[in-house]
A and B are shown apart, each in its own frame.
Chain A
Amino acid sequence: EPEVTQTPSHQVTQMGQEVILRCVPISNHLYFYWYRQILGQKVEFLVSFYNNEISEKSEIFDDQFSVERPDGSNFTLKIRSTKLEDSAMYFCASPKSGTDTQYFGPGTRLTVL
């Protein structure tokens, strides 16, 4: 299966702090997606990003969230001022070249104290 990687695997932060989650999608693909999963709940779509622009975002993706492509291969999800309810698993996903089937990374577990 094509590999999407994410770092860190686990991030612990204090409420109000900024966090940056990183994703390296499948090579040479312009699309990537972020999802989150609060413990015990469904996987929820956050945002899709295509060719350096947000393509679609959900209601969850408010002004505290931002996505960037700081270089040619990495994508980031930034939460400016974390809240307790931001504690969740965050997954990025990327299609394999020539398809629109999304492949997910292993996730980052964010814990906000």
Chain B
Amino acid sequence: DAKTTQPTSMDCAEGRAANLPCNHSTISGNEYVYWYRQIHSQGPQYIIHGLKNNETNEMASLIITEDRKSSTLILPHATLRDTAVYYCIVRVAGDDKIIFGKGTRLHILP
């Protein structure tokens, strides 16, 4: 089973920052937090991952709390193309499989 808890759905206005929360209270010290998204039946798309420091790339920022029990994915300026299901995953680096939960369905509103 997935070790994360995410809201089922969220709305965000186009142009605003989308903040997607994730709880992973049982995360182990060697587990990373990964984020993927899936746009309508396409293959899951990698967004970002981190261990304990905050991370930023061209797509998003990842904020991990100091106790590592929760994190937030931030899409700084959401567009309609960001409408997707967003998956928060905890995973040991080098571990084989990814265990997906149900994710958060993000709706970007025009």
Name A's B-contacting residues (CB within 8 A): 1, 4, 33, 35, 37, 42-45, 48, 55-56, 58, 89, 91, 93, 100-107, 109
B45 x A91 contact (CB < 8 A): no
Interface residues of B in 89-110 (CB under 8 A from A): 93-102
User: Could you jot down 13 A-B contacts, CB within 8 Å?
Assistant: A35-B98, A42-B100, A42-B101, A43-B98, A44-B100, A48-B97, A91-B44, A93-B43, A93-B44, A100-B93, A104-B45, A104-B46, A107-B43
Cβ of A99 to closest chain B Cβ, rounded Å: 9
Hey, which chain A residues are within 8 Å of B41, CB to CB? 37, 89, 107, 109
Is B68 in the interface zone, CB < 8 Å from A?
no
Hey, which chain A residues are within 8 Å of B96, CB to CB? 33, 48, 55-56
Q: What would 12 more interface pairs be, CB under 8 Å, given A1-B45, A43-B98, A101-B34?
A: A33-B96, A33-B97, A43-B100, A45-B97, A45-B99, A56-B96, A91-B44, A93-B98, A100-B94, A101-B46, A101-B49, A104-B44
Tell me what chain A mostly uses at the interface: helix, strand, loop, or mixed: strand
Nearest A residue to B101 via CB reads A42
Nearest B residue to A107 via CB reads B43
Name B's A-contacting residues (CB within 8 A): 34, 38, 41-46, 49, 87, 93-102
Nearest B residue to A106 via CB reads B43
Given contacts A103-B46, A105-B43, A107-B41, contact A45 B98 (CB under 8 A): yes
Hey, which chain A residues are within 8 Å of B97, CB to CB? 33, 45, 48, 56, 58
Q: Which of B41, B45, B101 has the most CB of A within 10 A?
A: B41
> With A and B bound together, what is the CA distance between A33 and B46 in angstroms?
15
